[in-house]
Amino acid sequence: MKVKELDYRSSLFFKCSNVKQETIVDALDFFVERLKKLSIDLDGVYPGDVFSLPFAMYISDRTATPLKTENFIKKTDKLLLVFSALPFEFVSEKYISEKTSLFRKIAPNSPSLLILSERNFRGVDFQLIKGKVERLFSYQFIREARENFFWPTEGEVTAVSERLWELSRKELSNFLRAKRIRDSARKYLRDEEVVNLNLIDSDAELSLWEKFKKGNLVKPSLKGKGGKGEKITVEKLFQIRDPHLSSAVTSVLEYVSQSIEYRFPTYLAYSNVEITERKGVLIVPKVTEELNGADLRVEFIVRLEKIKENLKKVNHLIQSSIVELAKDVFKKDFFTPQIDSSIDEKLNRGSIYLSWYIDREMADRINEKINRRWLLSRLLYRKRIKTEFLELIKLIENFEFNLENLELLKAKLGSLWRKNSNLFKAKSREIFSAIEKGKLWPLVAIFSVKETSLREPLDFLIKLKGYENYHHLLSNLDTYYTPVLTKRIYRPNWERVIRGKLSIFLKGEPLNPKSFSTYVLQTGDGKFLGTLPKTISHYILAKERQGKRVTCRELYFEPDVFSENSYWVEIKCL
């Protein structure tokens, strides 16, 4: 039976305002009972993502059909492709579409089932529940599932660790226990507390018949490439062209800022990208040129413990600094500033608003009296972070692979993101261009795998590339950089390779329960050197099953120091 190339609609069974573990079991029971009633025989159940494994196990148990992987599927098989929830962890619309599309190549008669989504998703044949995706699994299960997650890739072999299999059984037991507890307390509960599912599809059996018996399957949409990077443009908060006025206003702001920073952490923003959530006092000025002077409006955003007490202190420091400035600079009457404040004690947040008109005469007096060396030193210090961005871009553009540069690159990426993520986003196009120029996406990918502290800035850059996450990037690469996992006892073998400049080779190991796709690195005469990380091995295995030739060469071998990063190789799938 051939699947018709028409765009059939998805079927939504239930809506639910409060999704619980027992709710999902009720919905799965409904689905399985309808399959049995219609005498629909499955050849197997296939978990479309690792988080769906407990649900796939339940359907498998109830229908007495096996869980199957790619090595045991025939084209004529009719399987149920099960997805967990949307959006959830790494599972996205793009993921489901790509997984379904690839799976249909090996099992074209297989409908797809999405357990839970916050909206009506049209990319699957059946959606069990429309409801809010909340915490359903234990953290232990989610953490292990993340370790076993991979982006859909042609040629891949689905396999999970023994630990994830055990945890999935445990999660399923938790779901069934929740249902038993609810059923035992049935007589004490209101009807809506017993069953809170609202049936949407009144022709559920007809929908199942059309999909399973007639093969009217939904065709997944593969439009678009994936993730999108957030675009941020730098906008200056000073709308003044006159350098004379600009200098005077800058001096006033720096003077007030200095008065506060003796007591509290203080940051003065000059552009929109510098306005970020931070503890302490954030000074956000808005300056416009009016009537041959400058209209200065400043918000002091205060985020401190004991906010009521500290807001008064900050207010006092602002007023004192302005009084001192007036005493030192202005000899006669001048426009006095207006100051007001507001407070939100629940959020430990307060704001002080300052409005001040600085006319031309006041600006002249400020520029005459101000210490130019002091002002320049403060402004140069502020520009240091921008210099660090230039250093980062230069490092990427001229990157030479060695351990020192690796550590420096990781440190700069992490440091600049922590200091100002908005400025990082504003500069991301320049960083992106440098990575493109240096062809360093394999390095970005392995950093994402190994360095959890760098996930946020790297994910942002990966989205600029058009991918949803680092797994999506890895599945589309043909070149991989990776450290070799080895032990100190194999160091003599490495020393022979380095001294003799020996060739190195990759060898695929057979599948085993602890590491289902392992690649071993060895010398020409069979001396063991180490293995590749599990994540990299998975994608290389998929490429090899596609018919690509896998080659391996030295990227960097540290001759003197032994560590987990001492030996790096470049792997190409051609």
3-state secondary structure 89-157: CCECHHHHHHHHHHHHHHCCCCCEEEEEECCCCCCCCEEEEECCCCCCCCHHHHHHHHHCCCCCCCCCC
Mean pLDDT of 393-421: 90
* Number of helical H runs and strand E runs in the chain: 20, 18
Confidence band for 474, pLDDT divided at 50, 70 and 90: very high
Query: What digits encode the pLDDT tens for the residues 498-554?
Result: 998 888 998 887 655 555 578 899 998 888 999 999 899 999 999 998 999 999 999
pLDDT at 390 over 80: yes
Instruction: Write the Ramachandran bin of 291: left for phi over 0, alpha for psi from -120 to 50, otherwise beta.
Output: left
Distance set, CA 71 to CA 77, 97, 155, 267, 345 (Å): 13, 21, 10, 59, 61
**Tokens standing for 460?**
């942002």
- Cα 350–chain centre separation: 31
Please spell the DSSP secondary structure of 436-492, one letter per residue. Answer: HHHT-HHHHHHHHHH-GGGHHHHHHHHHHHT-SSHHHHHHH-SEEEEE-B--GGGHH
Query: Percentage of residues in the chain with pLDDT exceeding 90?
Result: 42
Question: Are the CB atoms for 462 and 424 separated by under 8 Å?
Answer: no
420 SS3 class: coil
Distance separating alpha carbons of residues 300 and 282, to the nearest angstrom? 6
Confidence band for 564, pLDDT divided at 50, 70 and 90: confident
**Burial zone of 319 (CB within 10 Å; 0-12 exposed, 13-18 middle, 19+ buried):** middle
Confidence band for 229, pLDDT divided at 50, 70 and 90: low
pLDDT at 366 over 50: yes
Confidence band for 261, pLDDT divided at 50, 70 and 90: confident
Distance separating alpha carbons of residues 447 and 468, to the nearest angstrom? 16
Residues 178, 179, 183, 189: what is their CA dihedral angle, to the nearest 10 degrees? 60
Question: Are the CB atoms for 69 and 158 separated by under 8 Å?
Answer: yes
Place of tokens 């009807």: 191
Q: Note the pTM of the prediction, 2 decimals.
A: 0.82
Q: What per-residue confidence (pLDDT) applies to 510?
A: 62
Report which of residues 433 and 561 the model is more confident about: 433
Q: What per-residue confidence (pLDDT) applies to 368?
A: 83
Report which of residues 478 and 193 the model is more confident about: 478
Provide φ and ψ at 461, rounded to 5°.
Answer: -65, -40
Q: What per-residue confidence (pLDDT) applies to 227?
A: 55
Question: What are all long-range contacts of 252-257, with beta carbons under 8 Å and residues at least 24 apart?
Answer: 252/296, 252/325, 252/356, 252/358, 252/366, 253/283, 253/285, 253/298, 254/375, 254/378, 254/379, 255/321, 255/325, 256/283, 256/318, 256/321, 256/322, 256/325, 257/283
Q: What per-residue confidence (pLDDT) applies to 2?
A: 47
Task: Specify the DSSP element, H or E, that contains 338.
Answer: strand 338-344
Average pLDDT, the chain: 86
- Apex CA 103: angle with CA 97 and CA 104, to 5°? 90
Residues in the chain: 574
> What is the bridge-based pairing of β-strands 528-531 and 338-344?
unpaired
Mean pLDDT of 17-23: 87
Distance separating alpha carbons of residues 355 and 337, to the nearest angstrom? 6
437 DSSP β-pair partners: none
Distance set, CA 155 to CA 470, 542, 546, 570 (Å): 19, 4, 5, 21
| Residues ≥6 apart with Cβ < 8 Å to 414 | 453, 454, 457
DSSP class of 566 = S
- Apex CA 511: angle with CA 507 and CA 517, to 5°? 60
Of 471, 571, 556, nearest to 521 by C-alpha is 571
Query: What digits encode the pLDDT tens for the residues 272-327?
Result: 877 878 788 998 999 888 888 888 899 999 998 888 888 999 999 998 888 888 77
Place of tokens 């409060």: 18
Of 432, 438, 417, 437, nearest to 467 by C-alpha is 432
Burial 59-74 (b: 16+ CB within 10 A, else e): bbebbebebbbbeebe
